[in-house]
Amino acid sequence: MARITVTVDGVAYQEEVEPRLLLVHLLRDRIGKTGTPIGCDTGNCGACTIMLDGRSAKSCSVLAVQADGAEVLTVEGLAGPDGWHPMQRAFHEEHALQCGYCTPGMIMAAIDLLKDDPDPSEDAVRAGLEGNLCRCTGYSNIVRAVRGGARAMRDAGAVGDR
């Protein structure tokens, strides 16, 4: 067992974990962050995407021990005192989700994408989301939502923090 400290959505957790424990299982099974789901075994689907020290990562492909000392942001930590994150709002407005299973990962990947490209073209959004699979929407509305969310974030001065 290893003792690790991980900050998740602003709260520090100290946990005794088996080295093989996946970060996503730490989140889901240990600290109840079930907003981040699991969709595959191979790092392909992206449903479990979170921010690890500020950049997107697939939490099914990271050991909890690798995240020792790190800061994790999940979809559950996005909303602020003023309500939803602009990207959450944009996904709602543009009908960018149906079953919603891919949505947490998709939103995290979208926010990450804007850190490098605050005003992405349609092609840039599509390329930036290549690691996040959705089976419901056909992606058209997701692309629109990401660009809409980007606009809202630019207006709020909330992008390009890197």
Contacts with another protein in 88-147 (CB under 8 A)?
88, 91-93, 95, 97-104, 107, 109, 112-113, 122, 125-143
Using CB under 8 A as the criterion, what x/- string covers residues 54-93 for binding another protein?
-xxxx-xxxx-xx-x-----xxx-xx----x---x--xxx
What is the nearest approach in angstroms of another protein to the Cβ of residue 12?
A: 19
Residues 6+ apart with CB under 8 A from 123: none
Rule CB under 8 A: choose which of 6, 8, 26, 46 binds another protein. 46
Q: Which is nearer to another protein, 157 or 162 (CB)?
A: 162
Q: Which is nearer to another protein, 79 or 156 (CB)?
A: 79
Binding-site size, another protein (CB under 8 A): 80
β-strand pairing of 2-8 with 71-73: parallel
Residues 10/77, Cβ–Cβ less than 8 Å: yes
Using CB under 8 A as the criterion, what x/- string covers residues 13-32 for binding another protein?
-----xxxxx--x--xx---
Residue 54: φ, ψ to 5°:
90, -10
Q: Does 159 bind another protein (CB under 8 A)?
A: no
- Residue with structure tokens 């109840």? 32
Q: Which is nearer to another protein, 69 or 156 (CB)?
A: 69
Give the SS3 label for residue 86: helix
Q: Token pair for residue 131?
A: 């690691």
Residues 6+ apart with CB under 8 A from 53: 70, 71
For the chain, the first-to-last Cα distance in angstroms comes to: 36
Q: Which is nearer to another protein, 62 or 159 (CB)?
A: 62
